[in-house]
Chain A
Amino acid sequence: AQSVTQPDIHITVSEGASLELRCNYSYGATPYLFWYVQSPGQGLQLLLKYFSGDTLVQGIKGFEAEFKRSQSSFNLRKPSVHWSDAAEYFCAVGDKNTGKLIFGQGTTLQVKP
């Protein structure tokens, strides 16, 4: 069955520090992969996506993610976190047949000054 696991429910980092949010997926073929961010009281904004090709993808707001097929992972990274990055982050895999997005449980990022 298709699934997405985000092992870290809550992460706290200091402003200016680097960030890595983990995402592992289960999918029978080459997946479509996404990272979304949700600020408090807001909808979901697409940060970046992977469909094929280069396994390191760049997104908005200085984020990047790397697709590693051997590890079934799609971890999100940012070299220097800003206080405005505090939000909830969701990893998702796209079902190519139905278009459904299968989401992980989310990781809440807190940024310390």
Chain B
Amino acid sequence: EAQVTQNPRYLITVTGKKLTVTCSQNMNHEYMSWYRQDPGLGLRQIYYSMNVEVTDKGDVPEGYKVSRKEKRNFPLILESPSPNQTSLYFCAAGRYEQYFGPGTRLTVT
């Protein structure tokens, strides 16, 4: 089954404690991206990757890092999380037709 998986699905952490949200796809898409969803704001792109080793900032990249060492994986890294990064995060694969993972709900206290 074609899918995008994310882990963890839920995470509660404290300010400043580094964390990584993993994303993996089995559809062989070159393009992957990360979005955050906040009430009343819809989804906003954080980072995207056109291909392995090629990443670029989206609309809200501050406080986030990504890496793309292999085609199927695109982890999102928060080196020093802050409460304003409390949000619902989605990974997506595909460029002109994007397929979304189930989401990761992150709470930073």
Q: How many residues of chain B get a CB closer than 8 Å to chain A's CBs?
A: 26
Give 14 CB contacts A-B under 8 Å. A32-B96, A43-B100, A44-B90, A90-B42, A94-B96, A99-B95, A99-B98, A100-B48, A100-B58, A101-B35, A101-B43, A101-B98, A103-B35, A104-B42
> Is the beta-carbon distance between B102 and A42 smaller than 8 angstroms?
yes
**CB of A110 within 8 Å of the partner chain:** no
User: CA A44 – CA B50 in complex, angstroms?
Assistant: 21
> Is the beta-carbon distance between A99 and B43 smaller than 8 angstroms?
no
Extra A-B contacts (17), CB below 8 Å, given A43-B4, A43-B100, A98-B48: A42-B103, A43-B90, A43-B102, A46-B99, A49-B97, A92-B43, A98-B56, A98-B58, A99-B48, A100-B48, A100-B59, A101-B45, A103-B43, A105-B40, A105-B41, A105-B42, A106-B42
